[in-house]
């Protein structure tokens, strides 16, 4: 499920609210370099740059409930970006996207000033094209 969450967000980036301010990080030879970005600290789920070209965003995706271990993970990635990618005047922010979050994570987020949380919901609908309705009735 986490793989599908990665793919959905990457494939639909322009349709989600984050795209208004952020672009998935790209490199000269790879437009999608920021998806599962490899670094010395592990794999960053999504690495993004602010449209102003200055700030960085590290996104950690959790398919189910996120806990306070997630704070350590995202801070590790943010620290790597700050040390290896960001200029001295650039900010590095973190965003955890999860289906649910436990109270321990909420407490940890209260002390992590540059890390935010967004929860997601899944909605699935089947839509039928008008011409296929006639074929099903035959």
129 is written with which tokens? Answer: 């094209």
Q: How many domains does the chain have?
A: 1
E-only strand ranges, 40-112: 42-50, 56-66, 92-101
Q: What does the pLDDT read at residue 136?
A: 55
Domain range spanning residue 91? 2-137
pTM attached to this predicted model:
0.85
CA distance 6 to 63: 9
Model pLDDT for residues 58-108, shown as the tens digit of each residue: 999 998 888 889 999 999 999 999 999 999 999 999 999 999 999 999 999
CATH code: domain of residue 52: 3.40.1350.10
CA distance 110 to 123: 30
3-state secondary structure of 41: coil
Could you tell me the pLDDT band of residue 131, with boundaries at 50, 70 and 90? Answer: low
CA distance 66 to 68: 7
């Amino acid at each position: 499920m986490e793989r599908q969450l990665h793919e959905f967000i990457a494939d639909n980036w322009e349709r989600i609210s984050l795209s208004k301010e952020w672009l998935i990080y790209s490199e000269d030879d790879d437009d999608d370099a920021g998806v599962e970005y490899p670094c010395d600290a592990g794999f960053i789920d999504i690495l993004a740059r602010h449209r102003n070209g200055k700030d960085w965003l590290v996104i950690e995706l959790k398919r189910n409930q996120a806990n306070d271990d997630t704070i350590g993970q995202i801070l590790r990635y943010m620290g790597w970006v700050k040390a290896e990618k960001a200029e001295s005047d650039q900010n590095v922010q973190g965003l955890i996207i999860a289906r649910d979050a436990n109270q321990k994570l909420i407490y940890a987020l209260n002390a992590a000033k540059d890390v935010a949380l967004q929860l997601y919901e899944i909605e699935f609908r089947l839509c039928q094209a008008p011409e296929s309705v006639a074929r099903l009735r035959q």
